[in-house]
Structure 1
Amino acid sequence: MTERARRAQIVAAAIETIADVGYPKASYRQIAARAGLSSSGLISYHFQNRSELITEVVRDVLGRFAAFVVERVDAHTTVPAQLRAFIGAQLDFLRLHRADMLTLLGIQGEAEIAASEATAYARLVESDHAALAELLREGIRLGDFREFDPEAMALFVFALRDGVLSRLRDAAPAELDTVREELTTMIDNATRSQR
């Protein structure tokens, strides 16, 4: 197995372990066992320390999350459809990649990730907010949306999404499907032009 493949295997095992037992209880021994490694020392061979492993976990999950959302948004040409796709894709990722999101939640509350990754994460959050506000602005300009403050509406959308995230551990997949539909409808009603 190549070094890159082994690192990916360890990251995937770390994600599953953290989602299962929580960040504080996720030991190298548990991660190694889940990865099928003969020794937890193999983790130390591929990652300098726990912080480097956790930083890679965050990078991996956020990268896949962003690609998942962008692909679905880019499949649409109208602003209202792009907004629905944006909201739906975020909730679909939560439902389809539950362990990833539980891991991010656990790490966010407990872990110190490398400063460069923390900065990158903060930039991603700001970039998402700016992109959504710009999409809303474009919808207003085209007359697809009513007049409202795009920055405030973007903030509300993310607050609602984060509320769903906070219930992720207890939510059944069917509940997430219902939440997806209701949230999409709510945002559609809140932004729709009255013309």
Structure 2
Amino acid sequence: MSNSVKESNVKVMFSIFRISPIIRITLLTFYTALTLPLPFLAKASASPIPASFLWGGIALGGVLLYGLLGERTILDEEKIQVVYPQWFPGFLRQGWELKWTEIKNLKLRTTGQGGLVYYFVSHAEDRAYLLPARVAGFARLVRQVEEKTGIDTKDIRPMPQPWMYFILCAIALLLLLVDFWTIGTALSLG
């Protein structure tokens, strides 16, 4: 008598969603455009704050922003979780995880600017966890949430529209052009 092992058609879910590249690029470009001229202007205006101090602050701020933008949303068979890079200090921003069985509902809330955000509400703690809406592949994330929780997600849309970030990125690039002119002027004065 032979024992045969049947192959199962069980599909194991494991997905990683990162913040959309256009959002990361836009925010990093804005950060650069807003901070790059500061050390040059400090030197040209004989500011009491040394340019080296500003360069250090800009570098530290850039690393922290890069860490925040390294947020990942991970979905697997048991849970959804939001994590940050291991090197990123947990006291600045902590991730979270929520088992699929703990999710009671998705609740809609309006933001101060009139936008809409969605929160997972858990059974056990009656706490709310923000549904990540700035990820690349948001529609796929929402479909997987619906598959795992049974919550109707057909009306859920991503908060930021891509065209808004393209416009913001274009504005940030224009600001960088002004920065280069400002840096050139500051260097010619110093």
Using structure 2 for the length normalisation, give the TM-score.
0.28
Question: Which structure shows the higher strand fraction?
Answer: 2
Using CA pairs under 8 Å that are at least 6 residues apart, name the structure with larger relative contact order, 1 or 2: 2
Question: Which structure shows the higher helix fraction?
Answer: 1
Which has the larger Rg? 2
